[in-house]
Amino acid sequence: MTYSTTAIGYPYIGGEREWKKALEAFWRNELTEIDFLQKMKEIRLARIDKQLRIGLDIVTVGDFTLYDRMLDTAVMFGLVPKRFGWQGGKVELQTYYGIARGNQDAVASEMTKWFNTNYHYIVPEFEGQALELTENKILADFLEAKEAFGITAKPTLIGPYTFCKLTKGYDKVSQVAFILALLPLYTQVIKELVTAGANWIQLEEPALVTSLDETEVKLVQEIYIQLAATVPEANIMLQTYFESLAAYKTLIELPVKGIGLDFVHGYTHNMEALRQFGFPQDKVLAAGVINGRDIWRANLAEVSTTVRAIEQLTSAEELWIQSSCSLQHVPISTELETKLEPVLKNALAFADEKLVELTEVAKYLKEKNHATNYTISESMKAIEALKKHSVRNNQAVHRAVQTVSTQDFERQSDFKTRQRIQQQALQLPLFPTTTIGSFPQSDEVKRTRSAWRKKQLSDEAYATFVAQETKRWIEIQENLEIDVLVHGEFERTDMVEYFGEKLTGFAFTEKAWVVSYGSRCVKPPIIYGDVAWATPMTVKETAYAQSLTNRYVKGMLTGPVTILNWSFVRDDIPRKDVTYQIALALRKEVEALEAAGIAIIQVDEPALREGLPLRTENWGAYLDWTVNAFKLATTNVKDETQIHTHMCYCEFNDFIEPISALDADVLSIETSRSHGELIASLHIHPYEKGIGLGVYDIHSPRVPNEQEMLTIMQDSLQVLSTNQFWVNPDCGLKTRKEPETIAALANMVAATKTLRQQI
């Protein structure tokens, strides 16, 4: 058996986010195109250099981008939406960034989640254009690496099936035409790479781990048979990741030279499939054994055992040892962190450390010297040390999670009873108006917070400032005659960080950025220990706001599933248990708010849908424990206390059951851009609880007029009853400016008053 190490892809943002900075400087015209491209080249080469120094056998190229790799692929094939007025030939940067971000004349292409990650790609649009190869960028990257380092890198491309599946704009008939136009271009790109000396070409096909029906499997076969016929000389590594390969028995026989499987996220099914069907002798197996999605050091003894077990089950003669997916989903290096406690830091592995792990595993397997491998035993020691850390041994929390019972998931009375009681107690008008929580984070708010963080401002002065801003906005809301007020969230930067800093078990990094979309990067907190409620987190601000007004002020919390899905999460206990820990902590906060006299409490779950498994057959289990976690956080209140929740999407058709199962008294959802669809689905799946439809889009500075919002409300009342209907914008207002916010809310309240008169 021969072993080679490789990564499916490596982060491109740079340890100091120099990629992001260069990009944004170029957009601001602070860098010329030449200087910008030169900077990008430096970053590209530096990351190859790093991977070579670590000792990776096969370095990947083509995993770098100037914005997004799906967009790169689309542009490479001339898939430029007509509204950008492109005339053929090379696609200039101006057009490229136009598609990504929109320009004066044309709106940007849609952006959506890359499988089950928090990365978002640009959705290619097929409009029947004639496709052409505009530029073989992958070849350029391949040659660049050859020239700079004398290496034969492995070029990577998003594979034709995945690319086609994620492109929009075709129907069953035009899909055939689209694929027929696409395949010769893939062939051409691959041919040019082979001619230039590429030994291996990686085609990334994550779509092959989703649920595939028979026609889809057929299509995949046809695509790869066609490629094998037109470029028989190419060694294609068909790369899958994020889950186990669907239709293993059939797809494993595709006419390619190698297949990559994810033995981390798809471990059970891929192993089972290997056991049952084996692995073809004439192919190279690329085994994803180091987790490309998490930040934890791997137990290298276990990883080596996994590789051995895989070896036993295949007749392949060559094995690649690789990360389970591109390392783009993890930060670059733990070496950049200076403030983490050593026990934690030592148990972390970001992209660079993961590459080291790959090389160590390969060395270990080659030498077969079990006892002496230093790194292997070090990895076990680091994991063991963190396991013993007091932060993971809060017995009270463990006991509390173990003793959670089904009763803890239920409110005292059913919804109908609560609705009656709450109407009596709260005496809200028909169609109560409210907002989602945050108000504009003005430059002054941001500046003051940052001064306080840098200790240039005392705790007291900062608290005074936040209180002033809250007071000002309570007055604004009263003047607007909004019915249920919010305190405005001025003390929060971020929905998760704010709570993470006050709960136990969280750690925060300095430089652990990952790209979320385009140049936007996020720095998720790390949940590394037991999560427990330590101190009231929102009571002071909420009670203060409530003391200023006779109207109700909603308490505002981030839900357990959203906190989970927007963090890096410990892997030593099930995600469900971590979520229950968070839920139990939030339950205490909900109790504290109620005790402080807060009658309405909103628990946001915008990321509930984000965590859905890739295979639909696994949705049920996920929804079971996530719904229960939400209920655990919210059910321990009096019938009079009204629980709200909020979500930032409205794919209602396949989601109404779990949403209703949350048993929140009122739900607010983002519907302003698609209320027609929502109304259609509410026709089919009636919803009985309180529901606030987003009547205007907060993502744009535009101020909608009264009539527009009134129409949305009138239409909605065809499928919703008068006593369940709430009125609100479709998300929090923190990114908006003050004047447009006030103007839009004034129109919203006016529309509501008109509606009340019409009833």
Question: Which residues are near ligand GLN by CB under 6 A?
Answer: 436-438, 489, 495, 556, 604, 606, 646, 648, 731-732, 734
Strand order in the sheet with 568-569: 506-507, 526-527, 568-569
134-142, 599-607, 617-625, 632-640 -> range binding Zn ion (CB under 5 A) = 599-607
Q: How far is the CB of 541 from ligand GLN (least distance, A)?
A: 13
**Contact (Cβ atoms closer than 8 angstroms) between residue 337 and residue 509:** yes
Outline where DSSP puts E strands in 291-334.
318-323
**DSSP-assigned states of every residue in 605-631:** -TTTGGG--SSGGGHHHHHHHHHHHHH
Angle, CA 29 vertex, CA 26 and CA 33 arms, to 5°: 55
Q: What is the distance between the alpha carbons of residues 81 and 108, in angstroms, rounded to a whole number? A: 10
Site size toward Zn ion, by CB under 5 A: 3
- In the complex with ligand GLN, which residue's Cβ is closer, 20 or 736? 736
**Is 209 an interacting residue with respect to Zn ion (CB under 5 A)?**
no
Q: How far is CA 109 from CA 120, 123, 258, 701, 711, in A?
A: 12, 6, 34, 19, 28
Contacts of 526 (CB under 8 A, 6+ apart): 295, 344, 348, 506, 507, 508, 509, 512, 567, 568
Q: Pick from Zn ion, ligand GLN, none: which does 139 bind, CB < 5 to 8 A by kind?
A: none
**Contact (Cβ atoms closer than 8 angstroms) between residue 578 and residue 525:** no
Q: How far is the CB of 668 from Zn ion (least distance, A)?
A: 8
Query: One of 329, 398, 644, 699 is an active-site residue; which one?
Result: 699
- In the complex with Zn ion, which residue's Cβ is closer, 62 or 732? 732
Contacts of 173 (CB under 8 A, 6+ apart): none
109 CB-contact burial (10 Å; exposed 0-12 / middle 13-18 / buried 19+): buried
Q: Cβ-closest residue to ligand GLN? A: 732
**Is 648 an interacting residue with respect to Zn ion (CB under 5 A)?**
yes
- In the complex with Zn ion, which residue's Cβ is closer, 14 or 692? 692
Residue 245 dihedral angles phi and psi, to the nearest 5° = -65, 130
699 catalytically annotated = yes
- In the complex with Zn ion, which residue's Cβ is closer, 416 or 699? 699
- In the complex with ligand GLN, which residue's Cβ is closer, 495 or 667? 495
Outline where DSSP puts E strands in 531-688.
552-558, 568-569, 600-604, 642-647, 666-669
118-126, 210-218, 305-313, 646-654 -> range binding Zn ion (CB under 5 A) = 646-654
Q: Pick from ligand GLN, Zn ion, none: which does 155 bind, CB < 5 to 8 A by kind?
A: none
Q: Pick from ligand GLN, Zn ion, none: which does 437 bind, CB < 5 to 8 A by kind?
A: ligand GLN
Structure tokens at 170: 């075709």
Q: How far is the CB of 42 from ligand GLN (least distance, A)?
A: 36
Q: How far is the CB of 605 from ligand GLN (least distance, A)?
A: 9
- In the complex with ligand GLN, which residue's Cβ is closer, 56 or 495? 495
Q: Which of 213, 361, 252 minimizes the C-alpha distance to 299?
A: 361
- In the complex with Zn ion, which residue's Cβ is closer, 159 or 606? 606
Q: How far is the CB of 559 from Zn ion (least distance, A)?
A: 12
**Is 669 an interacting residue with respect to Zn ion (CB under 5 A)?**
no
Q: What is the distance between the alpha carbons of residues 525 and 569, in angstroms, rounded to a whole number? A: 9
Q: How far is the CB of 731 from Zn ion (least distance, A)?
A: 3
Q: Pick from ligand GLN, Zn ion, none: which does 353 bind, CB < 5 to 8 A by kind?
A: none
* Contacts (CB under 5 A) with Zn ion, residues 600-629: 606
Q: How far is the CB of 735 from ligand GLN (least distance, A)?
A: 9
How many Å from the N-terminal Cα to the C-terminal Cα in the chain?
78
- In the complex with ligand GLN, which residue's Cβ is closer, 50 or 554? 554
Residue type, 20: K
Q: Which helix (H) or strand (E) holds 690?
A: strand 690-694
Q: Pick from Zn ion, ligand GLN, none: which does 438 bind, CB < 5 to 8 A by kind?
A: ligand GLN
Q: How far is the CB of 734 from ligand GLN (least distance, A)?
A: 5
* Helix 459-480 × helix 738-758 angle, to 10°: 30
- In the complex with ligand GLN, which residue's Cβ is closer, 59 or 648? 648
**Contact (Cβ atoms closer than 8 angstroms) between residue 530 and residue 569:** no
Among 731, 733, 745, 751, the residue binding Zn ion under the rule CB under 5 A is: 731
Q: How far is the CB of 607 from Zn ion (least distance, A)?
A: 10
Q: 411-417: which pairs have CB atoms within 8 A and are 24 or more residues apart?
A: 411/635, 411/637, 411/639, 411/663, 412/638, 412/639, 413/639, 415/663, 415/665, 415/688, 415/689, 417/639
Count of beta carbons in the 10 Å neighbourhood of residue 118: 17
- In the complex with ligand GLN, which residue's Cβ is closer, 259 or 698? 698
In three-state form (DSSP H/G/I as H, E/B as E, the rest C), the secondary structure along 40-101 is HHHHHHHHHHHHHHHCCCECEECCCCCCCHHHHHHHHCCCCCHHHCCCCCCCCHHHHHHHHH
Q: How far is the CB of 326 from ligand GLN (least distance, A)?
A: 26
Q: What is the distance between the alpha carbons of residues 740 and 757, in angstroms, rounded to a whole number? A: 26
- In the complex with ligand GLN, which residue's Cβ is closer, 265 or 736? 736
Q: Pick from Zn ion, ligand GLN, none: which does 604 bind, CB < 5 to 8 A by kind?
A: ligand GLN
Q: Is 167 helix (H, G, I), strand (E, B) or coil?
A: coil
66-74, 569-577, 697-705, 725-733 -> range binding Zn ion (CB under 5 A) = 725-733
Q: What is the distance between the alpha carbons of residues 475 and 33, in angstroms, rounded to a whole number? A: 49
Q: Annotate 662-700 with b (16+ C-beta within 10 A) or e (fewer).
A: bbbbbbbbbbbebbeebbebbeeeebebbbbbbbbbbee
Q: How far is CA 81 from CA 86, 102, 399, in A?
A: 8, 11, 57
- In the complex with Zn ion, which residue's Cβ is closer, 382 or 669? 669
Identify any residues that bridge with 726 across adjacent strands, giving them in sequence order: 692
Q: How far is the CB of 262 from Zn ion (least distance, A)?
A: 31
Tell me which residue has tokens 């002054």.
444
Tell me which residue has tokens 């206990």.
573
Q: Is 5 helix (H, G, I), strand (E, B) or coil?
A: strand
Q: How far is the CB of 542 from ligand GLN (least distance, A)?
A: 13
* Contacts (CB under 5 A) with Zn ion, residues 373-432: none
Q: Pick from ligand GLN, Zn ion, none: which does 360 bind, CB < 5 to 8 A by kind?
A: none
Footprint of Zn ion on this chain (CB under 5 A)? 606, 648, 731
Give the residue numbers marked as catalytic.
Answer: 699
